[in-house]
Amino acid sequence: MDKWFESKLMEIGKLNCYIKPVKSKGLKLDANENLVLKKNFIKKIAIKAIQKEDLRKYPLQQLDNFYLQLSKYTKIDKKNLAIGNGSDQIIDLILSAFGKEKRVTTFTPTFSYFIDRCQLYSMKIDKIPLLQDNSIDKKKFIQSAKKSEIIYICSPNNPTGNQFDKELLIDIFKNLDDKLIILDEAYIDFANYSFFSETVKSQNIIILRTLSKAFGLAGARLGYCIANENFSSIFKNIIQYPYAINNISLNIGNEILKNSKYIEKTIKIIKKERKRIVDYLNKTNNDELKVFQTDSNFIFFQVSDINKYERILTQLKKDKISVKAIGMIKDREGGHIRVTIGTKRMNNKFLSSLSKVT
């Protein structure tokens, strides 16, 4: 008998697996969560969300309530919104519905989960290297994108942190109106502009958003997308699972969105800390350490001496600080590190650990 399942399983087993942040009791600056948000604030909301719930029942009213609140907060009609179990799940569902046998254009480095997922669906992937200043090589990108059916742009980009110039993206999109464009705005709350008003009018752009970052709900798994009415409706009614998000997470999300003023306060603190850290690093370090423009809740820097890069990682580990080691990037010197911006105390701990490395 043809052992097709065994060989397919072996093929899948050879794919990259998404490297999750480490489990650590130390300072976790490796997953871009909102650590400025008070743990107790979320806890109180979560307890309330559980108390009012009857888990014998499927989420129905909770879903309507969440959509209503999301629409109120984003000022986007709920007809243009669709939610998922984290934006990871939305990516997966979009690729499973539209990705088979298709070619995708994106750039590198970018959000690795997206690439891994494309591989799972046996898609062809063309990754155009970002330029040395992390901007998009427009000519090469459009050239490749014209040969693809799907385009993935993460802006602000993870791990580089920068949001791409709006006019440049408009220019790129103008050339690609027959493609499916997925614009990942996971870090939009820390950035300068959103594409949502263009998106709701377009036929081919889907914006991805999440409550895992600015809204401090990585553990609740709530993501959403913004798209034209037709896509949103088909996604909600046909592509998405009937009950993808549990009652409690929906209630928590609803309550958090009602408290958006507090979230905005934490975003302000993070942005202020971002500037402080970047200024400090630019002032105190020589050419060995290059900090890039960031419009996210993390910083991204290059250590041109690979030995120093390793020494930095060793020191951070010794001080129980977890960061995301990105490592080497093709055609660039040394190694690269991504660090989440936390509270002032956390950030000082990171800076102090860094300063021990010579």
Binding region for ligand PLP (CB under 6 A): 32, 86-88, 111, 154, 158, 184, 186, 210, 212, 218, 223
Backbone angles phi, psi at 177, to 5 degrees: -75, -5
**Minimum CB distance to ligand PLP smaller for 89 or for 348:** 89
Residue 199 sits at the vertex; the CA angle it makes with 96 and 90, to the nearest 5 degrees, is 25
Report the nearest approach of ligand PLP to the CB of residue 237 (Å). Answer: 21
**Minimum CB distance to ligand PLP smaller for 280 or for 292:** 292
**Minimum CB distance to ligand PLP smaller for 223 or for 334:** 223
| Residue 238, H or E segment | none
**In the chain, helix, strand, coil percent, each to 5?**
45, 15, 40
**Minimum CB distance to ligand PLP smaller for 289 or for 323:** 323
Report the nearest approach of ligand PLP to the CB of residue 19 (Å). Answer: 12
**Cis-peptide, bond into residue 59, ω within 30° of zero:** no
**Minimum CB distance to ligand PLP smaller for 106 or for 353:** 106
> For ligand PLP, which residue has the nearest CB?
86
Report the nearest approach of ligand PLP to the CB of residue 86 (Å). Answer: 3
Report the nearest approach of ligand PLP to the CB of residue 285 (Å). Answer: 26
What distance in Å separates the CA atoms of residue 135 and residue 231, rounded to the nearest whole number? 30
Report the nearest approach of ligand PLP to the CB of residue 42 (Å). Answer: 15
What distance in Å separates the CA atoms of residue 271 and residue 38, rounded to the nearest whole number? 17
**Minimum CB distance to ligand PLP smaller for 249 or for 353:** 249
DSSP letter string, 87-144: HHHHHHHHHHHH-TT-EEEEEES--HHHHHHHHHTT-EEEEEEPPTTS---HHHHHHH
What distance in Å separates the CA atoms of residue 80 and residue 84, rounded to the nearest whole number? 14
Report the nearest approach of ligand PLP to the CB of residue 209 (Å). Answer: 8
